Amino acid sequence: DTGVSQDPRHKITKRGQNVTFRCDPISEHNRLYWYRQTLGQGPEFLTYFQNEAQLEKSRLLSDRFSAERPKGSFSTLEIQRTEQGDSAMYLCAGGSDAWGEQYFGPGTRLTVT
């Protein structure tokens, strides 16, 4: 158990709806990452926070995606106007080591119908 929790674990939504996922790392995790993983692929980087600052964001991320980490603790990832192509596992990882070791949560599986 990495101590990183994600909620919900599963989400089914209709195309066009907005969804929000939450990630709770442990208190020592000043670093926080979001990834998307589709079947048969490795995780794909979405964004990175150091404390509350969003320091890097993938160019693959469209304007429909936004992430926040308001107090440097938990983080949320929102997807607006969902599309079927957004169906994937969304993973959150926390870390505090200088070399960027990441401890993943169990993920949120999103299905867009």
Partner 1 sequence: TQLLEQSPQFLSIQEGENLTVYCNSSSVFSSLQWYRQEPGEGPVLLVTVVTGGEVKKLKRLTFQFGDARKDSSLHITAAQPGDTGLYLCAGVYPGTYKYIFGTGTRLKVLA
- Given the rule CB under 8 A, which residues bind partner 1? 2, 4, 33, 35, 40-45, 48, 50, 55-56, 58, 91, 93, 97, 99-107, 109
Smallest gap, in angstroms, from Cβ of residue 63 to partner 1? 19
Query: Cis omega (within 30 of 0) on the bond before 8?
Result: yes
Smallest gap, in angstroms, from Cβ of residue 81 to partner 1? 25
Asked if 67 contacts 46 with a C-beta cutoff of 8 angstroms, the reply is: yes
Smallest gap, in angstroms, from Cβ of residue 4 to partner 1? 8
Coil, strand, or helix at residue 78? strand
Q: What are phi and psi of 34, to 5 degrees?
A: -120, 140
**CB closer to partner 1, 75 vs 102:** 102
Residue with tokens 């603790």: 73
